[in-house]
Amino acid sequence: MTSSLLGALGLVCLVFGLIHFLLLLFGASSMLWVTANLGIGSVLLVVAALMNLDALRERMSSGEARRAGKYGTSAILGTAFTLVILGLGGFLSTRYHHRFDWSEAGVHSLSDQSQKLLAGLDQDVDVVAFYSPLDMAPVREVLDRYAYESPHFKVLYVDPNERPELLAKYAIDPQKLGQGLVRIGFGSESVEVDQPTEEKVTNALVKLSRTGEKKVYFVEGHAERGIEGPGGSEKTGFERAADALRNENYRVEKLLLASQPDVPADADVVVIAGPTRPWLESERAALRRYLERGGSALVMLDPRAQTDLVEDVRSWGVNLGDDIVVDRKLALFGRATTPFAGSYAPGHEITKDLRETTIFSDVRSVRAGDGPASLTEIVFTGEDSWAETDLATFFNDGRAELADGDLAGPVPVAVAGTLALGDAAAAASAAPPEGGAAAPGDGGKAAPKPARIVVFGDSDFASNEMIEAYRNRDLFVNGVNWLMGDVEAISIRPVRSRASRFQLSQEQFQTIAAISLLVFPQALAVVGVLVWARRRSAKA
């Protein structure tokens, strides 16, 4: 009886030794488990065979032995073929593989921005991940997505304890390693990233691949949204919006226009985020001169904003409604004045890739009108929305109904286009026909380029409280990209998972994996053998 028990336990160990060997091919087991199971199983089988040697000789000389040998050989061959097929499948999966992502938000796939960056690579990106084997799995999961998308993304996974010479080669201070870091090299430049996520890795690629420095100025002095300090960090601040632009490798600074005679010459884009106080005449003149010489401006004007800049924007040909958009169906639950975007202009660079919604709060209508600008309405609220013009009744009594004079939905809440003022307008009207010669006496000078403008009827959508909601960040940053002329940078950026997650450390994960894949199944098999042996002994 003892020999049968030892033989059964030996078979269990051998079978699990082979299973762990297959798991080892996928990095889900360890060589220690394989060796221990195969070794213990072999020893138990040998001991069982020696203890039952006389019975084996008797069986081998009987017809029962021939029948057992026949069926046993078939079982062994079938098992061997199954293991071979599984092994070949595992081998082929390491050579020929395809990634599937069935999550709702595509959180396991690279974003549009990341894919565009990888598609545009014309030289190799050398990536070295310095992590211990226990901490490597989540890092590999992120970086392997990039390597799968582009052959130019070369990744080397390194245990810093085994390859200290690479730390010296890349001049990495061991004190900076902590839990590990990723070095991303492109040409002669490099960036170090700790706790690598797709957002951080893609931002590093942006910084390395874009040459030159472009500057964005945020105007202040009229109660605009702050980008730093106490005002910038509040819910209504623009600190996160400024950080989103820095991630695009843009330099962001504040601009107190009243202290300067003109908008700085190095300003690529001027952002005017929700002013609520009047501008000085000198400031308005400086902004006009900036646009006349081909500048770019992103203007966000909330409903009932007490600023005379509204009249300047209207003079450009932008129809800013003295209203507020109401939507009782496609809006944040319980707040009809917090509408979602119902549609976008499919042909405009800013919105052509937007498929998911954006959200606004207390937004006015913004329409393309007649004037010196060539404008396109790019963002619209839902079909059942309207622009309420009876603001007194709305704000005093809280009542709103679609009436004559109100703009029925879809309501445009943003426009983008080019603006010709002053010398630019004159040059445009006097420009020779295509292929024609320049007018005599022009000195061969190039005509001033028209300005670019983007106007939103709301500034809340890019505030700290709302910029990470839905696709608000993409809409805001894409608007600045377009104003810069960086059309190739317009994209959909990395998403964040919507699912709740139970956070585990790497050590906790390894422990749970070992118990689930290694200890628990084998323990069940051993218990099963012991129960079988006990019942057999009771019957005897």
Q: What is the pLDDT of residues 202-217, one digit of tens each?
A: 888 888 877 667 999 9
Position 456 pLDDT exceeds 90: yes
- Where on the phi/psi map is residue 535: left (φ > 0), alpha (ψ -120 to 50), or beta? alpha
Q: Please name the amino acid found at residue 299.
A: V
pLDDT bucket at 337, cuts 50 / 70 / 90: very high
Is 429 within 8 Å of 410 (Cβ atoms)?
Answer: no
Which pLDDT score is estimated for 501? 42
pLDDT bucket at 434, cuts 50 / 70 / 90: very low
Position 438 pLDDT exceeds 60: no
Is 302 within 8 Å of 455 (Cβ atoms)?
Answer: no
pLDDT bucket at 439, cuts 50 / 70 / 90: very low
> Residue range 110-118: average pLDDT?
81
pLDDT bucket at 388, cuts 50 / 70 / 90: very high
> Residue range 332-351: average pLDDT?
90
- Taking alpha carbons only, the member of 218, 211, 220 closest to residue 244 is 218
Which pLDDT score is estimated for 502? 46
- Taking alpha carbons only, the member of 330, 331, 358 closest to residue 344 is 358
96, HSE (Cβ side, Cα atoms, 13 Å): 3
Is 365 within 8 Å of 407 (Cβ atoms)?
Answer: yes
Core vs surface per residue 317-341: b (16+ CB within 10 A) or e: bbbbbebbbbbeebbeeeebbbbbb
Query: CA 361 to CA 383: how far, in whole Å?
Result: 17
For residue 224, give both structure tokens: 């605009």
For residue 249, give both structure tokens: 């490798």
**Residue 462 or 331, more confident:** 462
Please give the sequence-ordered ranges of beta strands (E in DSSP) within 160-315, or none if there are none.
181-186, 189-193, 214-220, 250-256, 269-273, 296-300
Query: CA 512 to CA 519: how far, in whole Å?
Result: 10
Which pLDDT score is estimated for 176? 80
pLDDT bucket at 296, cuts 50 / 70 / 90: very high
> Residue range 447-454: average pLDDT?
85
> Residue range 196-203: average pLDDT?
86
DSSP single-letter state for residue 334: T
- Taking alpha carbons only, the member of 47, 65, 55, 64 closest to residue 8 is 47
Position 437 pLDDT exceeds 70: no
Which pLDDT score is estimated for 500? 41
User: What pLDDT digit, counting tens, does each position of 393-422 carry?
Assistant: 988 888 888 988 899 989 999 999 999 886
Position 509 pLDDT exceeds 70: no
Domains of the chain: 2-98+504-539 (no CATH), 112-202 (3.40.30.10), 213-320+363-378+412-422+447-489 (3.40.50)
- The long-range contacts involving 79-86, CB below 8 angstroms and separated by at least 24 positions, are 83/18, 83/22, 86/22
Query: CA 402 to CA 411: how far, in whole Å?
Result: 13
> Residue range 63-78: average pLDDT?
64
Query: CA 114 to CA 183: how far, in whole Å?
Result: 17
> Residue range 38-52: average pLDDT?
80
C-alpha distances (whole Å) from 18 to each of 4, 38, 47, 344 are 21, 8, 20, 57
Is 400 within 8 Å of 394 (Cβ atoms)?
Answer: yes
Q: Please, what's the largest Cα pairwise distance for the chain? A: 119
**Average pLDDT over the chain, rounded to an integer:** 82
Provide the whole-model pTM: 0.65
Q: Which residues lie across from 415 on neighbouring strands?
A: 377, 455
Position 187 pLDDT exceeds 60: yes
